[in-house]
Amino acid sequence: MQIQTTPEQALKRKYPEQVVLVATRNPKGRANVMAVGWTAIASEKPLMFMLAIDAGAFTYRLICETKEFVVAFPNEQMGPAVLYAGTHHGHKIDKIAVLRLKTQKAAKVKAPLIAAAVANFECRLVRIFKPGDCPLIIGRVVAAHRHRDASIRRLYTVGPGYRLSGVRILNTLRNNPRNAFAG
C-alpha cells in the first residue's frame, strides 16, 4: 500500500543503486579516476552509457577535453578505493597513484582500464545534455572487457552515507516470482 510523501523521503528507498568508476586521461598523459553513482545504460544498440557528473569535476573537464573515458564496474573488494575516488578531487592529486590502482592499456581510447574491475567499457563522447543542475554525459561503447575471474561480484551503493557492498540474489524470488508482489 502506498502513502503520499515528499520526493526526498521517497528517494531514501532507492538503494541499492549502481556505482561505477570513470577513468580518464589528460592530454599530457596523467590518468584520473572518479566514482559516479548517477549512471545508466542510455542505449542498447549501439550500447551507450549515461553519466551525471558535476560540471566542476576534474573528470568532467577531462571528458570535455579528450572526448573519451572508461566506465568500470568495481568489484566488491574495491569499496575503500571507490569511496576515496568519489570523495577526493583529481585536480591536484593523482588518485590512481594514491590508491595504487592497477590499470591496463585500453584497446581504443587513451583512458586506462581498471584491472580489478568486474568489467570495463571504453567510451567515446556522443553528447552532453544539461537538463538541470548536473550535466548528463552520453558515451558510446567502442570496446568492452571483463575480468577473467567470473566469480568476482560487483559493488553497489546500498545505503545513504556512501554505504557500499555487494548485492545477493534471493533464490525465493527466482523460484516463485509471485512472492515479489505479496503484501
Q: Could you read off the pLDDT of 112-163 as tens digits, one per residue?
A: 999 999 999 999 999 999 999 999 999 999 999 999 999 999 999 888 887 8
Predicted model pTM: 0.90
Quick one: how far is CA 112 from the chain centroid?
A: 15
The pLDDT of 20-31, averaged and rounded, is 96
Which pLDDT belongs to residue 167? 78
- 19: closest CA among 67, 76, 68, 63? 76
H/E run at residue 59: helix 58-66
**Residue 98 pLDDT exceeds 80:** yes
Which pLDDT belongs to residue 68? 98
- 96: closest CA among 111, 77, 76? 111
What cell does 58 get? 576534474
Which pLDDT belongs to residue 40? 96
Q: How far apart are CA 151 and CA 119, in angstroms?
A: 12
Q: How far apart are CA 111 and CA 64, in angstroms?
A: 13
Among the ranges given (5-14, 26-35, 124-133, 165-174), the one the predictor scored with the smallest mean pLDDT: 165-174
Which pLDDT belongs to residue 174? 55
Instruction: Give the Å distances, CA to CA, from 151 to 18, 118, 148, 154.
Output: 19, 9, 9, 10
Average pLDDT, the chain: 92
- 86: closest CA among 23, 140, 21? 21
Which pLDDT belongs to residue 160? 84
The pLDDT of 29-56, averaged and rounded, is 96
Which pLDDT belongs to residue 158? 86
Which pLDDT belongs to residue 166? 84
**Residue 183 pLDDT exceeds 80:** no
Sign of the C-alpha dihedral computed for residues 47, 53, 146 and 152 taken in this order: negative
Fill in the amino acid letter for 31. Answer: A
Domains of the chain listed by start with CATH number: 14-181 (2.30.110.10)
Which pLDDT belongs to residue 162? 79
Quick one: how far is CA 127 from the chain centroid?
A: 18
